Amino acid sequence: DAKTTQPPSMDCAEGRAANLPCNHSTISGNEYVYWYRQIHSQGPQYIIHGLKNNETNEMASLIITEDRKSSTLILPHATLRDTAVYYCIVSPSGNEKLTFGTGTRLTIIP
Partner 1 sequence: SQTIHQWPATLVQPVGSPLSLECTVEGTSNPNLYWYRQAAGRGLQLLFYSVGIGQISSEVPQNLSASRPQDRQFILSSKKLLLSDSGFYLCAWSNGGLSGNTIYFGEGSWLTVV
Cα–Cα dist 38/45, whole Å = 6
Interaction with partner 1 in 34-93: which residues (CB under 8 A)? Answer: 34, 36, 41-46, 49, 51, 87, 91-93
Helices and strands per DSSP (H, E), number in the chain: 0, 9
Among 9, 25, 28, 99, binds partner 1 (CB under 8 A): 99
Are 33 and 93 a contacting pair, CB within 8 Å?
A: no
Please state, in angstroms and as integers, the Cα–Cα distance from residue 81 to each residue in 52, 64, 84, 94, following that order: 29, 25, 8, 33
Is 94 a binding residue for partner 1 by CB under 8 A? The answer is: yes
Instruction: Please choose, out of 15-23, 57-65, 69-77, 95-103, the segment that lies near partner 1 by the rule CB under 8 A.
Output: 95-103
Binding site for partner 1 (CB under 8 A): 2, 32, 34, 36, 41-46, 49, 51, 87, 91-103
